[in-house]
């Protein structure tokens, strides 16, 4: 039986996508060749890349608005430095909402001055800062839409005239936003879009070409754009499986339809965390809670062994919290069925009955 997979990333993908990917490994589009052995310059793969780039833009509502999509390598972690390399001339503003933001800040400091506009480090990142002032004259403002480790999510994005850069690794394609408010969006594929290996970058072309430094080709957005995301060998399998996942999302009605399901799943788990006296949520402000990653703990840690046994017996995988938070984390990305959350809630209720 398939496990209920709450893994934070790499994570669950739709079962149809696993099936189609397996078929493509054996015989891609009737070519009698594997997707893994054909040239990335073949007409078949070029079509995959072009469709994936176009579909990513259209799902985000960004087609014909001056944006381009790229599938690059190096993970979101490379985007921490690549964004700064391409955009930071003098001074940038960063919102520090967790481990990933902290890492992005560290990289940006190699290229220029970084202002921490606001931070929630004082409370181990269990909330989203609000009512902060954004200084004028910044090259860009950077934020992290969903804090995968701590389970917080930005609902109100920074209001700024500067270009807005966002690490959306763990909630892209999960909720309906006005994506045109952002100038650069990046996301490692392995949280909500596909297998590890590809990184989606969506960039508004007008913000590029403004820094005076020389940029190495592989780190230059313009070089990748000029070459239609084929400057070098792209991560072909990850791009292909990402395309299958994006098509799955489109068939299900796109981001709006998916957001509805994600809201229902999140309501199930948070209602139980709030109701069940044996559990406590890590994020206190309800409006800051992530619909993707719900972090919680036992109120009585002596129940840990019993709870761990119960959820493992129920076929649940990947529920342990990140080491910097402890406790539990239920990651509920797009492909996680609502039924899996119902199984988890049932296990939480079983524990209550036994205790
Ligand atoms: C996982 C994650 C990253 C790191 O992604 P890599 O692809 O491993 O470099 C960055 N930001 C966020 C928000 C993440 O969840």
- Measured by CA distance, the residue closest to atom 7 of ligand 1 is 75
pLDDT at 202: 99
As a whole number of angstroms, the distance between CA 29 and CA 99 comes to 41
Q: What is the mean pLDDT of residues 88-100?
A: 98
Check pocket membership of 188 for ligand 1, CB cut-off 6 A: yes
pLDDT at 22: 98
* Total of domains in the chain: 2
The residue from 190, 220, 251 where one domain ends is 251
The residue from 221, 251, 281 where one domain ends is 251
Q: Residue 124: inside a domain, yes or no?
A: yes
Clarify whether residues 273 and 241 are in a common domain.
no
CATH number for the domain spanning 97: value is 3.40.640.10
Clarify whether residues 121 and 205 are in a common domain.
yes
pLDDT at 2: 87
CA 314 / ligand 1 centre spacing (Å): 29
CA 148 / ligand 1 centre spacing (Å): 8
- Measured by CA distance, the residue closest to atom 14 of ligand 1 is 169
As a whole number of angstroms, the distance between CA 127 and CA 174 comes to 20
CATH number for the domain spanning 313: value is 3.90.1150.10
- Measured by CA distance, the residue closest to atom 10 of ligand 1 is 76
Tens of pLDDT, residues 16-66: 999 999 999 999 999 999 999 999 999 999 999 999 999 999 999 999 999
- Measured by CA distance, the residue closest to atom 8 of ligand 1 is 75
Clarify whether residues 52 and 200 are in a common domain.
yes
- Per-residue pLDDT at 355 exceeds 90: no
Q: Residue 92: inside a domain, yes or no?
A: yes
Q: Give the Cβ contact number of residue 191 at 10 Å.
A: 28
Check pocket membership of 139 for ligand 1, CB cut-off 6 A: no
As a whole number of angstroms, the distance between CA 259 and CA 241 comes to 21
Clarify whether residues 23 and 156 are in a common domain.
yes
Q: Which two tokens stand for residue 29?
A: 């589009």
Q: What is the mean pLDDT of residues 239-253?
A: 98
Spatial contact of 71 and 242, defined as CB atoms under 8 Å apart: yes
Check pocket membership of 9 for ligand 1, CB cut-off 6 A: yes
What are the residues whose beta carbons fall under 8 Å from the beta carbon of 235, sequence distance 6 or more?
Answer: 71, 73, 197, 198
Catalytic site positions: 100, 167, 191
- Per-residue pLDDT at 92 exceeds 90: yes
Tens of pLDDT, residues 99-148: 999 999 999 999 999 999 999 999 999 999 999 999 999 999 999 999 99
Tens of pLDDT, residues 298-307: 999 999 999 9
Q: Residue 293: inside a domain, yes or no?
A: yes
Check pocket membership of 75 for ligand 1, CB cut-off 6 A: yes
Q: Residue 7: inside a domain, yes or no?
A: no
Clarify whether residues 114 and 102 are in a common domain.
yes
Q: Which two tokens stand for residue 121?
A: 């480090």
Tens of pLDDT, residues 254-296: 999 999 999 999 999 999 999 999 999 999 899 999 999 999 9
Q: Residue 3: inside a domain, yes or no?
A: no
CA 224 / ligand 1 centre spacing (Å): 21
- Pocket perturbation via mutation, ligand 1, pick of 167, 186, 238 by most ligand atoms within 8 A of CB: 167
As a whole number of angstroms, the distance between CA 106 and CA 101 comes to 9
Which atom of ligand 1 lies closest to the CA of 75? Answer: 7
Q: Can you give the pTM of this predicted structure?
A: 0.98
Q: Residue 10: inside a domain, yes or no?
A: no
- Measured by CA distance, the residue closest to atom 3 of ligand 1 is 76
- Measured by CA distance, the residue closest to atom 2 of ligand 1 is 169
Clarify whether residues 193 and 76 are in a common domain.
yes
CA 230 / ligand 1 centre spacing (Å): 23
- Per-residue pLDDT at 341 exceeds 90: yes
Which atom of ligand 1 lies closest to the CA of 147? Answer: 13
Clarify whether residues 218 and 292 are in a common domain.
no
Q: Residue 322: inside a domain, yes or no?
A: yes
As a whole number of angstroms, the distance between CA 84 and CA 139 comes to 10
Clarify whether residues 215 and 308 are in a common domain.
no
CB-based burial label for 164 (10 Å; 0-12, 13-18, 19+): buried
Identify the domain containing residue 172 by its residue range: 15-251
The pLDDT mean for the chain works out to: 98
Confidence of residue 1 (pLDDT cuts 50, 70, 90): confident
Clarify whether residues 148 and 97 are in a common domain.
yes
CA 275 / ligand 1 centre spacing (Å): 32
CA 37 / ligand 1 centre spacing (Å): 28
Percentage of the chain surpassing pLDDT 90? 99
Clarify whether residues 285 and 241 are in a common domain.
no
Clarify whether residues 202 and 271 are in a common domain.
no
Q: What is the mean pLDDT of residues 222-249?
A: 98
Clarify whether residues 237 and 278 are in a common domain.
no
Q: Residue 75: inside a domain, yes or no?
A: yes
pLDDT at 189: 98
The residue from 198, 217, 251 where one domain ends is 251
């Amino acid at each position: 039986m398939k496990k209920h997979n709450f893994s934070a990333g790499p994570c669950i993908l739709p079962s149809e996508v696993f099936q189609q990917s397996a078929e493509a490994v054996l015989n891609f589009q009737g070519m009698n060749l594997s997707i893994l052995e054909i040239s990335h310059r073949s007409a078949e793969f070029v079509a995959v890349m072009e469709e994936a780039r176009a579909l990513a833009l259209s799902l985000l509502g960004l087609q014909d608005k001056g944006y381009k999509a790229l599938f690059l390598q190096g993970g979101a972690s490379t985007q921490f430095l690549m964004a700064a390399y391409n955009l930071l001339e003098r001074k940038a503003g960063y919102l520090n909402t967790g481990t990933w933001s902290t890492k992005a800040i560290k990289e940006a400091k190699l290229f220029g001055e970084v202002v921490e506009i606001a931070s929630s480090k004082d409370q181990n990142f269990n909330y989203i800062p609000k009512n902060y002032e954004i200084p004028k004259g910044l090259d860009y403002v950077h934020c992290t839409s969903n804090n995968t480790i701590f389970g917080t999510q930005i609902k109100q994005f920074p209001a700024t005239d500067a270009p807005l850069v966002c690490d959306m690794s763990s909630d892209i394609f999960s909720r309906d936003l006005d994506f045109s408010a952002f100038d650069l969006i990046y996301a490692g594929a392995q949280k909500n879009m596909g297998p590890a290996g590809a990184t989606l970058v969506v960039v508004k072309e007008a913000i590029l070409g403004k820094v005076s430094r020389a940029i190495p080709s592989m780190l230059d957005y313009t070089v990748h754009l000029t070459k239609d995301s084929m400057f070098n060998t792209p991560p072909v399998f990850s791009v292909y499986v990402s395309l299958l996942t994006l098509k799955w999302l489109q068939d299900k009605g796109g981001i709006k339809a998916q957001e509805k399901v994600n809201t229902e799943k999140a309501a199930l788990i948070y209602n139980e965390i709030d109701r069940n006296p044996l559990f406590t949520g890590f994020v206190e402000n309800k409006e800051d809670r992530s619909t993707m990653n719900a972090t919680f703990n036992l109120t009585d840690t002596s129940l840990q062994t019993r709870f761990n046994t119960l959820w493992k017996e129920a076929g649940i995988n990947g529920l342990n919290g990140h080491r910097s938070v402890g406790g539990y984390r239920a990651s509920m990305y797009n492909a996680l069925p609502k039924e899996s959350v119902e199984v988890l809630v049932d296990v939480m209720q079983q524990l209550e009955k036994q205790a």
